[in-house]
Amino acid sequence: MAPSKLIQPDRVHRSVYADPAIFELEMERIFGRAWLILGHDSQIAAPGDYFTTRMGREPVIVARQGDGSVRVLINRCMHRGAIVCAEGRGCASSFVCPYHGWTYDTDGRLRSVPVPSGYASDRTGELGLRRVPRVSTYRGFIFASLAASGASLEEFLGPARSSLDDLVDRAPGGELEVAGGVFKHVYRGNWKLMLENHLDGIHPAHVHASSIAASRGAPEPGPPGEESYRDIAIRQMRQNAMPEPVWEAIGLWTTARGHGYMGDYHDDSRLVAAMGNPAFQEYRARLAARQGQAEADRILGVTLWNTILYPNCSFMSQFRQLRIVQPLAVDRTVVYTYSFRMKDAPQQMFRDTVAFANVVNGTASWVLTDDLEVYERVQRGLSSGAAEWVYIARGAGRDIDEQDGTRRGATGTSEVFIRAQFRAWLDYMNER
């Protein structure tokens, strides 16, 4: 079936989640074209620093060059095809293939091969590691695109830039640093399922019912000065029980590229730095000292929850969590979750971030494990051919087009963000 037949205004065909042929086409037309977030400048601070990751299913090396620029190379030897760099991350002066010792500079150029006299002609100039054609950064975040041409990164991000601004602006020193370890969780479900969950305000009361109930029975978190490590976990689990009118009332915006972001639902002053809890006093003071009081108030006045950058990222600007989605197969996905330390913020701010990461994004989290279970159940359900369509009509027909180019849901529980993702999906899939 042609992609355009699979996407309708209020429903999508189950094959977009379950058909391996559709998945192949997505890897070529979506992950092969869109700007994909790969990581952050702080992961490769010095020349020679590198990390490996995937763009769709392409294995890549992201390497800092001597001139400070970032280059993204296909991690595949041009001789017989072995992965040349398997270390994950490090600092290198060259990448050496383990098979026959083909040696590449960190900019990808082929430096040497063993016994070069074995070749009739010298083709080293054209046998460098393949370069990913477009690389760009925004506020320290590294993006790349496998397509040689297309919209600029800034155009691609569009109004969703404001969420990345929010993430970075909160650092008193104006910069972030990846820190605190990386959670890598796998689920047996399609890559889109996670992106369709992170702006969904109906699901917490149902998916997270058991962690909400358990946390309600926990001892009350301590007042300022008598706080405990566990408070962040208990407070966050309880927040998932916000009543439906709260979810209905929050803003939910989408962009033409399928990105989306929503207003925050937190009312817990120990979790939200803007809310006046004494625990954040020093942080707010440092932000005001660097930015001025008015700008600090503006920064802390932005209240966003999750932002989706379609097709491979979801992040929480207020809580400094960023998740990169890597599709493995039509029914298997891995998600890497990073935490960030804010430059020049008090140590306790990062300790809170780590505690928050553990409860929300930890592999054994009370919260995340139930999300993963549901993704897997959806995938199993969608393998049934007897019922063909997936219904995404909540709020349909009531979406509001805003001046800044965003499309907003009529309420915070609208499925406008899923419709926006499929609108972008169709654009990528149809583009020739």
Q: Which is nearer to other proteins, 134 or 230 (CB)?
A: 230
Interface residue with other proteins, options 94, 228, 383, 430 (CB under 8 A): 228
- Asked if 400 touches other proteins (CB under 8 A), the answer is no
Q: Which is nearer to other proteins, 280 or 422 (CB)?
A: 280
How far out from the chain centre does Cα 138 lie?
Answer: 14
Q: Which is nearer to other proteins, 246 or 355 (CB)?
A: 355
Interface residue with other proteins, options 27, 324, 374, 420 (CB under 8 A): 374
- According to CB under 8 A, which residues from 56 to 85 bind other proteins? none
Question: Which tokens in the block code for residue 191?
Answer: 């890559």
Measured between alpha carbons, how far is 416 from 393 in angstroms, rounded to an integer? 8
CB-count burial class (<10 Å; 0-12, 13-18, 19+) for 154:
exposed
216-222: long-range contacts at Cβ-Cβ below 8 A with a sequence spacing of 24 or more?
Answer: 216/241, 221/270
How many chain residues interact with other proteins (CB under 8 A)?
47
- Strand segments (E) across 284-345: 304-309, 313-316, 321-329, 332-342
Cis upstream peptide for 311 (omega within 30°): yes
Question: How would DSSP label each residue in 230-260?
Answer: THHHHHHHHHTT--HHHHHHS-EEE-TTS-E
Closest separation between CB of residue 269 and other proteins, Å? 21
Measured between alpha carbons, how far is 8 from 222 in angstroms, rounded to an integer? 50
- According to CB under 8 A, which residues from 154 to 213 bind other proteins? 179-188, 206-207, 209-211, 213
Closest separation between CB of residue 206 and other proteins, Å? 8
Stretch that binds other proteins, among 150-158, 161-169, 224-232, 391-399 (CB under 8 A): 224-232
Closest separation between CB of residue 256 and other proteins, Å? 33
Across 360-389, b (16+ Cβ under 10 Å) vs e yields bbbeebbbbebbbebbeebbeebeeeeeee
Closest separation between CB of residue 313 and other proteins, Å? 17
- According to CB under 8 A, which residues from 326 to 355 bind other proteins? 334, 339, 347, 350-351, 354-355
Question: Which tokens in the block code for residue 407?
Answer: 């499309």
Site string for other proteins, 350-369 (x = CB under 8 A): xx--xx-xx---xxx-x-xx
Q: In which region does residue 417 sit, left (phi positive, over 0), alpha (psi from -120 to 50) or beta (all else)?
A: alpha
- Asked if 370 touches other proteins (CB under 8 A), the answer is yes
Binding site for other proteins (CB under 8 A): 179-188, 206-207, 209-211, 213-215, 217-219, 228-230, 233-234, 237, 334, 339, 347, 350-351, 354-355, 357-358, 362-364, 366, 368-370, 372-374, 377
